[in-house]
Amino acid sequence: MAAEREDGTGTMKTPGGIARCDLTTGRPAFCGGPYSGRAILPQDGAYHLCDVTLGTARFCYGLYTGRAVVRQEPGSYARCDLTLGRITFCEGPYTGTAVIPQSAE
Averaged pLDDT in 10-residue chunks for the chain of 105 residues: 40 66 94 94 94 95 96 90 97 94 65
* Predicted local distance difference test score (pLDDT) of residue 73: 78
Cβ proximity of 18 and 52 under 8 Å: yes
The domain tally of the chain equals: 1
Residue 42: give the domain boundaries.
5-104
Q: Kindly report the three-state secondary structure assignment for every residue of 31-71.
A: EEEECCEEEEEEECCEEEEEEEECCEEEEEEEECCEEEEEE
* Predicted local distance difference test score (pLDDT) of residue 92: 84
Cβ proximity of 62 and 44 under 8 Å: no
Q: How would you class 54 by CB atoms within 10 Å of its CB: exposed for 0-12, middle for 13-18, buried for 19 or more?
A: exposed
Phi, psi of 30, deg, nearest 5: -155, 135
* Predicted local distance difference test score (pLDDT) of residue 12: 44
Instruction: Name, in order, each residue with C-beta under 8 angstroms of 82's C-beta and a sequence gap of 6 or more.
Output: 40, 47, 64, 65, 66, 67, 68, 70, 88
* Predicted local distance difference test score (pLDDT) of residue 16: 54
* Predicted local distance difference test score (pLDDT) of residue 103: 61
pTM attached to this predicted model = 0.78
